[in-house]
Amino acid sequence: MEKVVGKKGDLASLILFISIMTLFLFGDVLVKEVNVPSFALQVGTIFLSILLEAIPFILLGVFASSLIQTFVSEQMVQKWIPKRPIVALVPAAVVGALLPICECAIIPVVRRLITKGMPLHVGVVIMVTAPILNPVVFASTYYAFSANMSIVYGRMGIAFVASLIIGLIVYVIFRNHLPLKSIKHSHDHHVNSRLTATLTHAVDEFFDVGRYLIIGAFVASFFQVVIHREILVEVGQHEIIGPALMMGFAYVLSLCSEADAFVAASFTSTFAPASLLAFLIYGPMIDFKNTLMMLAYFRRRFVVIFIGVVTTVVYVCVYIFHFIG
Amino acid sequence: MIRGVLLCGYALLFIKLLLSGNLTNYIVPKMLPFIYFATFTILLLGSIQIWRKEEDGCCHHCEGGHHVPKTVGQSIRVYGVFIVPLLIGFMFSNYVLDSALAAKRGVQLGGREISEENKQMVEQFLEDPEGYMQNIDNQIENIMQDEGTEKVEKQEQLKEDLLEAQTVVVNDDKYVSTLNFINEQIDAMIGKRIEITGFVFRERDFAADEFVVARYGLTCCVADATVYGILVKTDQAAKWENDTWVKVEGIIDETTYRERFVPVIIKPSVTVVNAPDQPYVYEY
């Protein structure tokens, strides 16, 4: 580590190491005597489960991102992307659909592609489509809603349309800005091998994004335990408030897009289809956990505007669908 | 250095959860390959981090890119949050969700609207059971033709088995689909015997003679846990407290709850059992 920290840093590491080993060996014995309220245990359990589930995928995303950083050049990216900005939206959505990646893994990848010269709006489209239009998510939605195929196709269809509109709006607003936190790139570690460079990047990025993930997961698990689902039922059938409420619910729950269909299915009897669709489309695009992860990578102003755009577009799309369907 | 130690700590946490089998208290078994991958990579990265320190730390010139904290105070602020999950994981990993959370999530009892159409179906069945069954078989065949995938076939097989069976045994690996099927084809299932194991749970508005035998079903992790169960009606209901694990054998019937028809087990014999090794069901 840094020279400034020097010996103190080493000492701290040593202490940390010893405490971790103690916990590893005797952790559960230590707490036998302590009486922890079940509320705290519930929050803790859900918190850790969100993390355990996300960590492998974040690692994958972080690795993919470091590989791109090390092996893909700006010229390659520019060659692949269609010159006309609007035309580039559709292939972006298709790329998003082909990638079987969830929202945790896609953010590091997209931000890296953007630093490599991919236009922002194209990156955004990939970011919002990948977690929904994806074979695994289609399968889980199908099993959860096999009795109601309009939800399954509605989810995929609306997500596709909404992502194109979102990309378009982002293009109009941020045509000439790059809202990344660090655009400057002096990453020429005079390192002997590209492998070491890749691994080093992966660790740095893991810690950058991990901090936000942990905070996000904690807040999400708190909401998970606090919210009494019966309260939602009261306003569930309302056709204007219903979808908005379910979007807010999806936001705070921060579920993985592969699993949210089953949670949505548990609301089938109390919520109108439009509300369920709002939940299923909005949740994977934005939730508390990935808002914080985006803050690790993008400027605050962009994150706020992006959330505003996604929220409006998804709501309007679901509303229109409600009237057509 | 601290990063390296933290990463190794996470690897140890994964290893401990894997060894103790407590990992399935958090996430579903089908995610295990990902966890192995994560354990291996984190351990590798951690070792490299600790070892890299010897080379005079390489990363201070990533200006603007990543912030490596400069003082001990900063380190604590930055890395403190990484310690919390370790604490929880090492100390409380044997906690299993109980009925306290089920009360907030609500239990999936299935059921259907009390509507004219449903009444017609009941009448239809009463008048002409065979014709009705034929009808259902046709419907199933139609679905079969639409979907040829293996999983769907398995589901159809389950449905046929259930329609023929005199006693429905609700197994862990088909827990949710069996309950769903009882719901969908309640008319055909009424009168059959059923065997089911789960924990006792009550909604606030249950009558004194009602409780639910329920399980948590997980799709990815505990965050998406949903409570699935079936209602039990017995005069002795008060004998079993919430969170008691019981095996219930009885007869399937239908009752009304919150203005819906829901399946119910009547004339049950209830035995208290030990909590199963896998308290959750992982079906999808």
The answer to whether the CB atoms of B58 and A191 lie below 8 A apart is: yes
Q: Between B174 and A193, where is the model more confident?
A: B174
For B11, the token pair is 């690897």
Contacts of residue B97 in chain A, CB cutoff 8 Å?
Answer: 42, 45
> Is a pLDDT exceeding 70 seen at residue B92?
yes
Sorting pLDDT into bands at 50, 70 and 90, what band is A169?
very high
B residues 7..46 contacting A (CB < 8 A): 7-10, 12-14, 16-17, 23, 25-27, 31, 34-35, 37-38, 41-42, 44-45
Contacts of residue A200 in chain B, CB cutoff 8 Å?
Answer: 52, 58-59
Instruction: Tell me what the mean pLDDT of segment A306-315 comes to.
Output: 94
The answer to whether the CB atoms of A200 and B27 lie below 8 A apart is: no
User: What is the rounded distance in angstroms from the CA atom of residue A104 to the CA atom of residue A284?
Assistant: 10
Instruction: Tell me what the mean pLDDT of segment B199-225 comes to.
Output: 86
Least confident of A289-303, B61-75, B220-234: B61-75
Q: Between B141 and A209, where is the model more confident?
A: A209
Residue of B nearest to A60 (CA): B38
Which of B60, B55, B42, B56 shows the shortest CA–CA distance to B3?
B42
B residues 72..111 contacting A (CB < 8 A): 72, 75, 78, 81-95, 97-98, 100-101, 104-106, 108, 111
Chain A CB within 8 Å of residue B144 CB: no
The answer to whether the CB atoms of B111 and A202 lie below 8 A apart is: no
User: What is the rounded distance in angstroms from the CA atom of residue B242 to the CA atom of residue B227?
Assistant: 14
> Is a pLDDT exceeding 50 seen at residue A52?
yes
Q: Which domain holds residue A83?
A: 40-177+192-324
Residue of A nearest to B111 (CA): A269
> Is a pLDDT exceeding 60 seen at residue A144?
yes
Q: Look at residue A240 and give its three-state secondary structure.
A: coil
Instruction: Tell me what the mean pLDDT of segment B134-144 comes to.
Output: 55
Query: Each residue of B242-262: pLDDT tens digit?
Result: 888 999 999 998 888 887 888
The whole-number pLDDT of residue B131 equals 60
Which of A68, A81, A269 shows the shortest CA–CA distance to B111?
A269
- ipTM, interface predicted TM-score of the complex: 0.79
How do the domains of chain B map onto residue ranges? 2-91, 99-115+166-281
Which of A3, A20, A62 to substitute to test the interface with B, most B CBs within 10 Å?
Answer: A20
Q: Say which residues have a Cβ less than 8 Å from residue B257's Cβ, sequence separation at least 6.
A: B109, B111, B231
B193 in Cβ contact with B166 (< 8 Å): yes
Which of A276, A267, A225 shows the shortest CA–CA distance to B103?
A225
The whole-number pLDDT of residue B139 equals 55
What percent of chain B clears pLDDT 90, i.e. is strictly above it? 7
| Domain presence at residue A22 | no
Instruction: Tell me what the mean pLDDT of segment B122-146 comes to.
Output: 55
The whole-number pLDDT of residue B95 equals 82
What SS3 string covers A30-62?
HCCCCCCCHHHHHHHHHHHHHHHHHHHHHHHHH
Q: Which 8-state DSSP code applies to residue B106?
A: -
Contacts of residue A63 in chain B, CB cutoff 8 Å?
Answer: 41
Q: Look at residue A237 and give its three-state secondary structure.
A: coil
> Is a pLDDT exceeding 80 seen at residue A26?
no
Which of B42, B47, B224, B284 to substitute to test the interface with A, most A CBs within 10 Å?
Answer: B224
Mean pLDDT of chain B: 78
| Domain presence at residue A152 | yes
B247 in Cβ contact with B271 (< 8 Å): yes
Q: How far is B70 from chain A (nearest CA, A)?
A: 6
User: What is the rounded distance in angstroms from the CA atom of residue B42 to the CA atom of residue A153?
Assistant: 38
The whole-number pLDDT of residue B114 equals 62
Determine the topology of domain B99-115+166-281 in CATH: OB fold (Dihydrolipoamide Acetyltransferase, E2P) (2.40.50)
Contacts of residue B106 in chain A, CB cutoff 8 Å?
Answer: 229-230, 266
Nearest to A16 among B2, B42, B81 (CB): B2
Q: Look at residue A66 and give its three-state secondary structure.
A: helix
A residues 67..106 contacting B (CB < 8 A): none
- Between strands B193-201 and B245-257, the pairing is antiparallel
* Axis crossing angle, helix A135-144 with helix A149-173, rounded to the nearest 10: 140
Sorting pLDDT into bands at 50, 70 and 90, what band is B133?
low
Sorting pLDDT into bands at 50, 70 and 90, what band is B57?
very low
Q: How far is B201 from chain A (nearest CA, A)?
A: 16
Q: Say which residues have a Cβ less than 8 Å from residue B194's Cβ, sequence separation at least 6.
A: B167, B168, B169, B170, B182, B230, B248, B249, B250, B251, B252, B265
Q: Between A268 and B142, where is the model more confident?
A: A268
| Domain presence at residue A1 | no
For A110, the token pair is 């997209």
- Count of domains observed in chain A: 1
* Axis crossing angle, helix A194-226 with helix A288-297, rounded to the nearest 10: 150
| Domain presence at residue A122 | yes
Instruction: Tell me what the mean pLDDT of segment B89-112 comes to.
Output: 79
Q: Which 8-state DSSP code applies to residue B168?
A: E
Residue of B nearest to A196 (CA): B48
> Is a pLDDT exceeding 60 seen at residue B13?
yes
Sorting pLDDT into bands at 50, 70 and 90, what band is B127?
low
Mean pLDDT of chain A: 81
Sorting pLDDT into bands at 50, 70 and 90, what band is B68?
low
Put residue B272 in one of left, alpha, beta given phi > 0 → left and psi -120 to 50 → alpha. beta
The whole-number pLDDT of residue A160 equals 92
Sorting pLDDT into bands at 50, 70 and 90, what band is B65?
very low
